Amino acid sequence: MRKRQPNHRLVKIHRSYTVEEAANLFGIHKNTVRTWVKAGLATTDDQRPMLILGRELAGFLRRRRTRRKRPCKPGEIYCVRCRAPKIPEGDIAEYQPDNETVGNLSAICPDCNAMINRRVSLAKIDQVRGKMEICFRRDGDT
């Protein structure tokens, strides 16, 4: 099974990796690591075997991950289908509690009409709310 994001915490920062060792570390193909080198991953020199410093590899993966993050502002819920934070249709969301402290906000994406969800703590719901009107579902409601 292919992992979606290589975990930068697996990298030992005081070690040098060959392309094959880095690929085996993450369970990916060695051509993927070579693509990272072309995209800006620094190597020690131009000689063979190509060596990658562990701290450079971990930093490269960390920067890639943070560049792709799309945090939600107050009043927004992330739509997986659109791959972007969206303000729900009509600024209305429904809160479904899982327990006394945490629950899910559910709403409809205004662009693709898919269900969008956001996990939220009841204590922080006012910070997440923004201009959204939130309907609180009781345990007996369906």
**pLDDT tens digits for the chain (142 residues)?**
455 788 899 999 999 999 999 999 999 999 999 999 999 999 998 888 999 999 999 999 999 988 878 888 999 999 999 989 999 999 999 999 999 899 999 999 999 999 999 999 989 999 999 899 999 876 555 5
- Do 56 and 90 lie in one domain? The reply is no
Answer whether residue 3 is part of any domain: no
- Do 127 and 97 lie in one domain? The reply is yes
Given 68, 87, 104, which residue is the final one in a domain? 68
Q: Which long-range contacts (CB under 8 A, 24 or more apart) does 120-123 make?
A: 120/95, 122/97
Given 41, 68, 95, which residue is the final one in a domain? 68
| Residue 1, pLDDT score | 44
Stated pTM of the model? 0.60
DSSP of 5-54: S--GGGS-TTSEEEHHHHHHHHT--HHHHHHHHHTT---S-SSSSPEEEH
Answer whether residue 1 is part of any domain: no
Given 34, 68, 102, which residue is the final one in a domain? 68
Answer whether residue 60 is part of any domain: yes
Answer whether residue 2 is part of any domain: no
Answer whether residue 13 is part of any domain: yes
Residues 6, 66: Cα–Cα separation, whole Å: 13
| Residue 140, pLDDT score | 55
| Residue 85 · residue 96 · CB < 8 Å | no
Q: Dig out the tokens for 65 from the structure.
A: 């991950």
- Do 83 and 113 lie in one domain? The reply is yes
| Residue 46, pLDDT score | 81
What does R_g of the chain's alpha carbons equal in angstroms? 21
| Residue 71, pLDDT score | 85
Residue ranges making up the domain that contains 91: 77-136
CATH code, 62: 1.10.10
| Residue 55 · residue 13 · CB < 8 Å | yes
Which DSSP state fits 72? P
- Do 81 and 128 lie in one domain? The reply is yes
Alpha-carbon torsion (128, 133, 138, 141), positive or negative: negative
Answer whether residue 93 is part of any domain: yes
| Residue 142, pLDDT score | 54
With 0-12 CB in 10 A as exposed, 13-18 as middle and 19+ as buried, what is 30? middle
